[in-house]
Amino acid sequence: MLLFANIETILPRLSQVFAISQEVEDFILNSGMILAIFGILLGTTLLFLNGFFLLKFRNHARAYTMDQQENHLNAGFENLNRYLILSTAVNGISIISTFVGIIILFFTA
């Protein structure tokens, strides 16, 4: 949040280091802030869901260890499955966006 609060003072220095044009600076100051905040909120939500599924798995695994009832084990593995699916999707999106960024930088340089 401190970065967003001081973006007007940080952005000119970053534009000198990374040779950012004035159009890109204007985009970052206007629409880019909304896009960045949306990305941060989406990432926070995904991290929260992953943590929630892992905690549910841990609780069910602990209950299975104490009670030896298989319904706890089944519910735990269902939560672990949700965690793994969500993690795989997030990692896939990250890999694709990284490759797209590299390709864009390669062809525009």
pLDDT class of 1 with cuts at 50, 70, 90: low
**How far, CA to CA in Å, does 92 sit from each of 48, 84, 89, 100?**
18, 12, 5, 12
Q: Is the model's pLDDT at 3 over the cut of 70?
A: no
- DSSP code at position 51: H
Report yes or no on whether pTM surpasses 0.85: no
Burial status of residue 105 (CB atoms within 10 A of its CB: 0-12, 13-18, 19 or more): exposed
- If pLDDT is split at 50, 70 and 90, which confidence band does 4 have? low
